[in-house]
Amino acid sequence: MLSEMRVTGSRCRCLLLAVSLPVSISLCRAQSPQETDSAMENIVTEKKAEESHRQDSADLLIFIMLLTLTILTIWLFKHRRFRFLHETGLAMIYGLIVGVILRYGVHVPRDVSNVTMSCHVNASPATLLVNVSNRFYEYTLKGEIRGDDVQDNEMLRKVTFDPEVFFNILLPPIIFHAGYSLKRRHFFRNMGSILAYAFMGTVVSCFFIGLLMYGCVVLMKYLQQLDGEFFFTDCLFFGAIVSATDPVTVLAIFNELQVDVDLYALLFGESVLNDAVHASYVLPIVLYMPKGDNSHTFEVMAMLKSFGVFLGVFSGSFALGVVTGVVTALISFFTKLRDFQLLETALFFLMSWSTFLLAEACGFTGVVAVLFCGITQAHYTFNNLSPESQDRTKQLFELLNFLAENFIFSYMGLTLFTFHSHVFNPMFIVGAFIAVFLGRAANIYPLSFLLNLGRRNKIRSNFQHMMMFAGLRGAMTFALAIRDTATYARQMMFSTTLLIVFFTVWVCGGGTTQMLSCQRIRVGVDSDQDNSVSIMDGTERRSTKQESAWLFRIWYNFDHNYLKPILTHSGPPLTATLPPCCGPLARFLTSPQAFENEGPLKDDDSDLILTDGEINLSYGDITVSTDATGAHSAFPSAGGAGAATSDDLDKELAYGDHELVMRGTRLVLPMDDSEPSITELQPHIRM
């Protein structure tokens, strides 16, 4: 990260001297020859650096203008209720247009200043010191350039970002935002299914696509359609990168149309966890790769090692993310930073960023750490923030997410024309599309069938079709694909991946509304109303309880009774949840505000905390008394403690996602429009 920042300067060091060039040269004449030489040389170098800096600014300006254009057009679309194209799809179209212009309209020949040196060095170190007449210049490695690329269009090279930018700069805010804005209530209600789709589904999809593609590749080799090597592990790698779903377009429309919350939770949860799985998942495949020849044989040891690495990296990143989140929660718990919102927001931002850096510095996956940090921050730290900071942090990451996402998608469009070594192989592309389609089917339908065996609230077939349809590919897939485009196989994969992303975002994304009405999925569901129904209705409540896995409920109780009181200002006081013998410790650890929580439900906290009512409901069979803010009244519990806790769980989850914004844009519908209400689109079908 530092290196990026360090590099600009050399290019733009002497912006100052740019305008002065003609003057300086004429002034130099009076001086001694060697001084003039040195000055001239400096000036020429500086002029080049200055031009380079200007060029860089202009290039970045292209992207800023692209984003501005996207924003204005998408406003127009939203204003006119035109729902076929999401902002990300639009960003891609604009990117495509600019890509065409850069490719065919502008031609800047390669700068002659690129001196090619044929030195006898055996390695390509990260840093190079070049001795030019006893002055040392430091160079940093930018990357390898293929032979034909050396004569390439300078302009196209200029607008090419380093692939790692996506992984290290643009992806983290997107992933953090996803974690921070997880709709927790329905997420937790469907946690088992979501985990199944995200972990097992991804593995199934990955291997399924990998195997299909391997068949395709073998066929291509037989038909001599292949110009380079394509190993089995490459197929597996391809399966891994195109298995990551990113239904940002679909979710935006779901949110706008208020589609069934469980379907929303399933899709969103799957895509969020997917990202984490993929970020650490690709590693073991790469690990497995050096051994990879084009044979079909599995190496058991290599497989096990790969799996071990995956587990290690994933759990390490997970732990790091959670720990940073908890540390932030503790800091905001023990200090009264609430009084200074700016400090609070800054601390929150810095701690979240440091998670990423810490994970990268430790050799874990920053993206995964950032995701779980986001979830932890939303679960604990969020409760300790002042209402103003809650808004600030949400809005900040919403903005960062929006900018990063649209930047990536517009870059995707651009890169279709500006990327220097595309390999479009029709047969591979057709094979890939079929494999992606079948892979998604092999993920969704069998898993849903298995899950339905255990679920009371079944995932109905129209939901399954919708999930099948909503398997869009997006930012993560692109970031994984562009990360390494060194070999022929990788280039073909990258080109094909681009087309898959385009197709899914435009066609599947654009057809979401049609698909919803075709599958007769109810829209216009108010998530609160839905909740109140389930609370009113006894049998439905029971079924909700059944859905929550026992493991999750144990964790929930522990979290609610001990972690939340220790880490946040919300939750029941520890004096109520710890055994009486731990009284002094409990009183020491409980924040004074936790006792204050025992008033009526406060609006600003209603997001995530429980009020006294529920606390007493949960622990009604324990006689509670505290000295701090007066006596607790101990109602006899309505049911047993266990049942009450489940109610509690249900209620807390109901409040949980009250205010958190969704991933992607919040689509505010202008109210001054006389268009028929969107709920009339389809007859409501009560689940």
**How far, rounded to the nearest angstrom, does the alpha carbon of residue 279 sit from its chain's CA centroid?**
10
* Cβ count within 10 A of residue 82: 11
Using CB under 8 A, pick the residue from 104, 426, 668, 676 that binds a second copy: 668
In whole angstroms, give the CA distance from residue 88 to residue 407. Answer: 9
Residue with Cβ nearer a second copy (40 or 585): 40
Q: Are 229 and 294 in contact (CB under 8 A)?
A: yes
Binding residue count for a second copy, defined by CB under 8 A: 148
Which residues in 304-333 contact a second copy (CB under 8 A)?
Answer: 305, 309, 312-313, 331
3-state SS class at 393: helix
Using CB under 8 A, pick the residue from 101, 107, 125, 228 that binds a second copy: 125
3-state SS class at 132: strand
Which residues in 428-467 contact a second copy (CB under 8 A)?
Answer: none
User: Over the Cα atoms of the chain, what is R_g?
Assistant: 28
Using CB under 8 A, pick the residue from 33, 105, 117, 538 that binds a second copy: 117
Which residues in 208-237 contact a second copy (CB under 8 A)?
Answer: none
Q: Are 186 and 262 in contact (CB under 8 A)?
A: yes
Task: Give the amino acid at 115.
Answer: V
Scored b (16 or more CB within 10 A) or e, 358-370 reads bbbeeebbbbbbb
Which residues in 512-531 contact a second copy (CB under 8 A)?
Answer: none
Q: Are 414 and 214 in contact (CB under 8 A)?
A: no
Q: How far is the CB of 683 from a second copy (least distance, A)?
A: 30
* Cβ count within 10 A of residue 237: 26
Q: Are 366 and 276 in contact (CB under 8 A)?
A: no
Residue with Cβ nearer a second copy (352 or 425): 352
In whole angstroms, give the CA distance from residue 162 to residue 59. Answer: 14
| Stretch in the footprint of a second copy (CB under 8 A) among 20-28, 91-99, 195-203, 543-551 | 20-28
Residue 342 binds a second copy (CB under 8 A) = yes
Which residues in 356-415 contact a second copy (CB under 8 A)?
Answer: 357-358, 360-363, 366, 392, 395-396, 398-399, 402-403
Q: Are 647 and 617 in contact (CB under 8 A)?
A: yes
**How far, rounded to the nearest angstrom, does the alpha carbon of residue 497 sit from its chain's CA centroid?**
18
**How far, rounded to the nearest angstrom, does the alpha carbon of residue 130 sit from its chain's CA centroid?**
40
Q: How far is the CB of 469 from a second copy (least distance, A)?
A: 27
Q: Are 513 and 507 in contact (CB under 8 A)?
A: no
Which residues in 478-497 contact a second copy (CB under 8 A)?
Answer: 483-484
Q: How far is the CB of 64 from a second copy (least distance, A)?
A: 5
| Stretch in the footprint of a second copy (CB under 8 A) among 165-173, 196-204, 254-262, 415-423 | 165-173
Using CB under 8 A, pick the residue from 32, 34, 105, 126 that binds a second copy: 126
Using CB under 8 A, pick the residue from 32, 80, 132, 536 that binds a second copy: 132
Which residues in 69-98 contact a second copy (CB under 8 A)?
Answer: 71-72, 74-76, 78-79
Q: Are 66 and 93 in contact (CB under 8 A)?
A: no
Using CB under 8 A, pick the residue from 81, 221, 336, 684 that binds a second copy: 336
Which residues in 620-639 contact a second copy (CB under 8 A)?
Answer: none
Which residues in 39-58 contact a second copy (CB under 8 A)?
Answer: 39, 41, 44-45, 48-50, 52-58
